[in-house]
Amino acid sequence: MEVIKYLSRMDLFNGLSDDELAQLNHATPLETRNKGTVVASPHMEQKVLYIIKSGKVRLYKLTAEGKELTLDILGAGHLFGEMTSFHTGSAMFAITMEDSVICEIESRQFRKLIGEKPDLALKYIELVTGRLKEMEELLEYMAYGSVRERLLFLLHKLASKFSPGSEAAQDWMPLEIELTHQELATMTGSIRETVTPIINQLVSEGVLRKEGARKPYLIHRSRLEDAIPAFQ
C-alpha cells in the first residue's frame, strides 16, 4: 500500500487507475540502499527503472583518464535506469550519496505499461528529453569551461533541485545536500586542491556562505546566476 500511495503522487503515474497502480506494486519493491552503494553500472543488466523515494543518487561516467564525471544528482521523485537506454552511448554508473529508499520497476512491465498508455509515454519522453538537455549543457561546460565555471554551473543545478523556494528566492538559501570539497572536485572533474581556493573565492565574493562546519552551504541565487558565463 505504501508503494501504491507513493507512485500515485508522482506526475509520471498520475492518472493511472488503482488496479494499474496495484499491478505496479507487485513488481515495485522498496529497498533501502546504504550510502555509497552502486545501484546501476555498465556491468549490470539494465532491465530496471529506479524511482527514488528518499535520499540522493549521483549519476556519473568514467572519462578516458579514469576520472568520474558527474552527469546528474537526483533526489526524491526522480527516475533513472531504464532511461539510460536513451543516452547517446554513455555508460553510466549510479551511486547513492546517502542512505536511500529506492523503488524498482521491471523494464518489461514498464514498457508494456507505456505502450498501453500514450499519455504516460509522452510524460516519460518529456522526462527523458529534459534530462538529455541538462546533460548536454553540463557536458558543454565540462568540455569548454574552467574549473570555476564548472563549479558554478554545478552549484546552480544543485540549488535548483535541492533548495526550497529556489525559483523565486533572490536572497540566501540553503543547499540541502552535504558535499565535501573532495566530492565537489570529483563531480567537476578536478582535484580538491584546485576546488578549495575557488570555493573560498566564491565566499569572499558573496556567492557562497557557510555558518558552521556541519552546516550546509548557503547560496545567493542572483549572484550565482550573474557569475555563470553563457556558452554560445
CA-closest candidate to residue 46, choices 111, 1, 106: 106
Q: Say yes or no: 133 and 173 in one domain.
A: no
Binned at pLDDT 50, 70 and 90, residue 53 comes out as: confident
- What DSSP designation does 164 have? T
Q: What is the pLDDT of residue 15?
A: 63
* 166-207 confidence digits (pLDDT tens): 444 457 888 878 788 888 888 888 889 999 999 999 999 999
Q: What is the CATH number of the domain that holds 182?
A: 1.10.10.10
Can you say whether residue 108 is alpha, beta or left, with left for phi > 0 and alpha for psi between -120 and 50 degrees? Answer: alpha
pLDDT tier for residue 2 given thresholds of 50, 70 and 90 = low
Asked if residue 130 belongs to a domain, the reply is yes
The set of cell numbers assigned to 144 is 569548454
User: 189: domain range?
Assistant: 146-227
| Domain membership flag for residue 232 | no
Amino acid in the structure at residue 128: V
Whole-structure pTM over 0.75, yes or no? Answer: no
pLDDT in tens, 83-95: 544 444 457 889 9
Strands (E) located in the chain: 30-33, 38-40, 48-54, 57-62, 68-74, 79-80, 93-96, 100-106, 172-174, 208-209, 218-220
